[in-house]
Structure 1
Amino acid sequence: MATIDNLPPLRDVIETHELAAKKSLGQNFLLDLNLTSKIARYAGDLSGCDILEIGPGPGGLTRGLLAEGARKVLAVEKDSRCITALEEVQTAYPGKLDVINADALEIDVSKHLQAPVRIVANLPYNVGTELLVRWLTPDVWPPFWESLTLMFQKEVAERITAAPGSKTYGRLGILAQWRCQCQTVMTLPPEAFSPPPKIHSAVVHLKRREEPLFPADPKVLNRVVAQAFNQRRKMLRSALKNFVPDMEDHIVAAGLKPTDRAEQIDIEGFCALARQIAPHMR
């Protein structure tokens, strides 16, 4: 599919506006509009939703989202070179696209959006994980968004969906799965991008849970999980020995074995441990 609208193919857009991808911005542009439309469809029915897109670049996924009927797209792009190309998309979809030239890590986008909100993005590789953690750890839950449909490096996607006992299981997977239903919906080879990265990419769909999977104070849970996986090869009693007084007794009281390692503990186990130690945290 060369185009999904009356706009030029993306390769022509990139050439016209001299948008060679910048490694410093983590840019790898997805040029196949078949694929951008497919990613948009994984986010569900968009007709009644505002969509937040981070790092739209020349607008390939933006066009896919609009062609799939998004009520409105808010595109946040740090690279000022891309703004003219995005303004051309704006003209083709009057009243449907707002563009902000800014760093997504430095602005509050929620005030520009009306519920229901879904986030759909081919995230820049250098900020993708940080953005995801921010979206998963707001001060109030449920957050302003209903779902996240995000492209990452494949190894990051594997960490998000990892099961206990696997090599990729860790803090990111626990954080995501505790508060969301997580599923990898698509894998893309390097040659789908310009320039081709050295690794495969994957799209993960995260649908928020209205309540977390198990009760726990999020700050306590995050701290204990981070500490446990910081020394993942150590037994819990060693990795967490100075976390609170009598830590080994608390591990047992939470129904866990002090000799277990972090990768063996499921989300329910970590939540039980967080509840057990919360009264003893300073």
Structure 2
Amino acid sequence: MSAVDQDFLASLPPLREVIAEHGLNAKKSLGQNFLFDMNLLGRIVRTAGPLEGYTVYEVGPGPGGLTRAILAAGTERLVAVEMDQRAWPILEDLNQRSGGRLEVIPGDAMKVDEAALLSGKPVRIIANLPYNVGTALLVRWLTTPAWPPFWSSLTLMFQKEVAERIVAKPGTSDYGRLAVLAQWRARPRIAFDVPRQAFTPPPKVTSAVVHIEPCVPIADVPLKSLEVVTLAAFGQRRKMLRASLKSLGMDPAPILEAAGIPGDLRAEVLDVAAFCRLAAAHAELAASRKTR
């Protein structure tokens, strides 16, 4: 891992002064909360692993606190997507000071073709995700059709309750569709918590940094079937599977029988492998109906 470039950090004006100069108050509508503690920001970057040979992708850099820490860790190319135009001059100045290593993409991260934008070197995604789009972005990265995906790791900050849903185990109240999608073909872990007092302004909840690495899928099943099966099962999680899976638009009995799963169970007790069996059975039944 590269040593932190203290000279680079020392050459930058204090982040609080930059924010004040540009009038960049955090906007609730953009899910913004700023971090100023460079020790904490550096810890997030270290959690991602070595940056040599990687392109780093950041969503919602805002005034660039985490961006500074990523650049100081020695990345050769950092691509950041930011829709708040107030932050663009700050980030452009940071690009100049970094020797052109920062590429700022103005706009909405949900509309970016990341695989095309980041092609070439392997990618580490490091971001303090805006609260209002964090889960949607994660689901998109977890459900990319190509696997292994275009990214080598995700190091992301979420509200702690979201982080706990990502790593939750069967039989717990946090276990749901997000856990199944995250654990089907990736290894997620909570690296550490971040207290609300670390932010300006402080959010109402504690946050947590989650690190995710892709792995060999638990089972080779169609992504679409896994998505629809988990959506149906957890959409009515208090119902038994024989009832909740009726929303699939087909008789759930043959699916449950093929998967070897009793219909009187509820979704929260099934492990990821069981959901893979359900997805495989659903895909087979759906395919047979199309050929009739």
Decide which structure has greater helix share.
Answer: 2
In structure 2, list runs of 5 or more residues that go unmatched. Answer: 1-5
Among 196, 199, 202, the alignment partner of 1:196 is 202
Offset, 1:244 = 5.7
Assess if the C-alpha contact under 8 Å between 2:232 and 2:247 holds in 1: no
Offset, 1:8 = 1.8
Structure 1 residue ranges, 4+ long, deviating more than 4 angstroms after superposition:
none
Offset, 1:66 = 0.8
Matched, 1:279 2:281: no
Among 93, 108, 112, the alignment partner of 2:113 is 108
TM-score after normalising by structure 1: 0.95
AA paired with 2:162?
Answer: V
Between 1:124-133 and 1:89-98, the stretch displaced more is 89-98
Offset, 1:97 = 0.8
Matched, 1:61 2:70: no
Q: Where do residues 54-133 of structure 1 align in structure 2 (5 Å cutoff)?
A: 54-113=59-118, 114-133=120-139
Matched, 1:206 2:212: yes
Assess if the C-alpha contact under 8 Å between 1:4 and 1:33 holds in 2: no
TM-score after normalising by structure 2: 0.92
Offset, 1:111 = 2.7
Measured in 1, the distance between the counterparts of 2:114 and 2:282 equals: 35
Between 1:134-143 and 1:32-41, the stretch displaced more is 134-143
Measured in 1, the distance between the counterparts of 2:248 and 2:155 equals: 35
Please give the root-mean-square deviation of Cα atoms over the aligned residues, in Å.
Answer: 1.5
Measured in 2, the distance between the counterparts of 1:147 and 1:174 equals: 18
- Over residues 151-171 of structure 1, what are the superposed CA-to-partner deviations in whole Å (9 max), with x where a residue is unaligned? 011111011000001101000
Are residues 277 and 67 of structure 1, via their aligned partners in 2, closer, same or farther at CA, if it must alter by over 3 Å? same
AA paired with 1:156?
Answer: V
AA paired with 1:58?
Answer: P
- Over residues 69-105 of structure 1, what are the superposed CA-to-partner deviations in whole Å (9 max), with x where a residue is unaligned? 1121001110000011112211221031111111111
Offset, 1:276 = 1.6
Offset, 1:240 = 1.1
Matched, 1:4 2:21: no
Offset, 1:188 = 0.5
AA paired with 1:39?
Answer: I
Measured in 2, the distance between the counterparts of 1:277 and 1:112 equals: 35
Are residues 216 and 62 of structure 1, via their aligned partners in 2, closer, same or farther at CA, if it must alter by over 3 Å? same
Assess if the C-alpha contact under 8 Å between 1:77 and 1:103 holds in 2: yes
Q: Partner of 1:256 in structure 2?
A: 261
Offset, 1:5 = 3.2
Are residues 242 and 19 of structure 1, via their aligned partners in 2, closer, same or farther at CA, if it must alter by over 3 Å? closer
Q: Partner of 1:155 in structure 2?
A: 161
Assess if the C-alpha contact under 8 Å between 2:22 and 2:86 holds in 1: yes
Assess if the C-alpha contact under 8 Å between 1:244 and 1:280 holds in 2: no
Measured in 2, the distance between the counterparts of 1:6 and 1:112 equals: 30
